[in-house]
């Protein structure tokens, strides 16, 4: 049997994709957010469209990412899917209503951009708490980005995080602080992923013993 076939068999037996593939969506989310933060730090208004496009990407990753936790907790998959649709449909629907019913008009592009990022962060946090705990670190990270971009000057959160991460003059190095925080968030998510995969393997092994 070839190495590829052996790996495929192992994956099917455990019901899990290889770890690098499982981590790739989270890596993309953290990396993309850092890039968007960098592009937005001097002019958030110029990157609003990018954040709008990124929001449904986060929604899709959240939908796929939570299947393992749903399996471990014996949640009904249809109910899981419905909750994800309601959560992200509400967020995306609110933005659609704002853009089609004149509710965006009183807001500047800067204010609207901040609102989009806040909604992205809050949607992620709601989905994480209910359905996929590992996404909570990305949600907190997105919330941090929203606040720092909304209050770019003398931001206390930026200063506090920079001091914790031992970055000198953090107010002058927002991208560095944000990148380091993204690495910390990804590392924390990795721990949850490993714990969840262990729970899946344990559950599968228990099922096999009962057969």
Q: Answer whether residue 150 shows pLDDT above 80.
A: yes
Q: Give the 3-state secondary structure of residue 34.
A: helix
State how far the Cα of 177 lies from the Cα of 158, in Å rounded to an integer.
7
pLDDT digits (tens, 9 = 90+) for 7-47: 334 444 455 678 888 788 899 999 999 999 999 999 999 99
Looking up tokens 């949850």 gives: 192
98 CB contacts (<8 Å, ≥6 apart)? 104, 112
Share of the chain above pLDDT 70, in %: 83
Distance separating alpha carbons of residues 44 and 191, to the nearest angstrom = 32
Gap between the Cα atoms of 107 and 202, Å rounded = 51
* Main-chain phi, psi angles of 106, to 5 degrees: -70, -15
pLDDT value at position 144?
Answer: 97
Q: Check: CB of residue 22 under 8 Å from CB of residue 197.
A: yes
Phi, psi of 101 (to 5 degrees): -120, 20
Highest mean pLDDT among 13-22, 72-81, 138-147, 185-194: 138-147
Q: For residue 11, what pLDDT is reported?
A: 43
pLDDT band at 124; cut points 50, 70, 90: very high
CB-based contact 142:124 (threshold 8 Å):
yes
pTM above 0.75, yes or no: yes
Cβ pair 203, 71 in contact under 8 A: yes
Model confidence at 119: pLDDT above 50? yes
What is d(CA 153, CA 16) in angstroms, rounded to the nearest whole number?
45
Q: How far is CA 126 from the centre of its chain?
A: 11
């Amino acid at each position: 049997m070839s190495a590829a076939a052996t790996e495929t068999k192992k994956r099917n037996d455990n019901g899990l994709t290889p770890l690098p593939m499982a981590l790739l969506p989270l890596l993309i989310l953290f990396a993309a957010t850092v890039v968007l933060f960098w592009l937005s730090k001097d002019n958030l208004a110029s990157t609003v469209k990018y954040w709008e496009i990124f929001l449904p990407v986060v929604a899709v990753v959240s939908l796929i990412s939570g299947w393992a936790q749903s399996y471990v907790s014996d949640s009904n998959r249809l109910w899981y899917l419905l909750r994800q649709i309601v959560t992200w449909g509400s967020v995306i629907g609110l933005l659609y209503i704002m853009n089609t019913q004149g509710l965006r008009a009183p807001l500047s592009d800067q204010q609207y951009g901040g609102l989009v990022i806040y909604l992205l962060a809050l949607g992620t946090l709601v989905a994480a708490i209910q359905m996929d705990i590992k996404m909570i670190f990305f949600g907190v990270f997105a919330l941090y980005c929203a606040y720092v971009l909304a209050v770019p000057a003398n931001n206390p959160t930026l200063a506090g995080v920079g001091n914790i991460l031992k970055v000198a003059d953090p107010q002058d190095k927002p991208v560095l602080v944000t990148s380091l925080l993204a690495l910390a968030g990804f590392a924390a998510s990795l721990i949850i992923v490993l714990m969840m995969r262990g729970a899946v393997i344990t559950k599968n092994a228990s099922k096999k013993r009962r057969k």
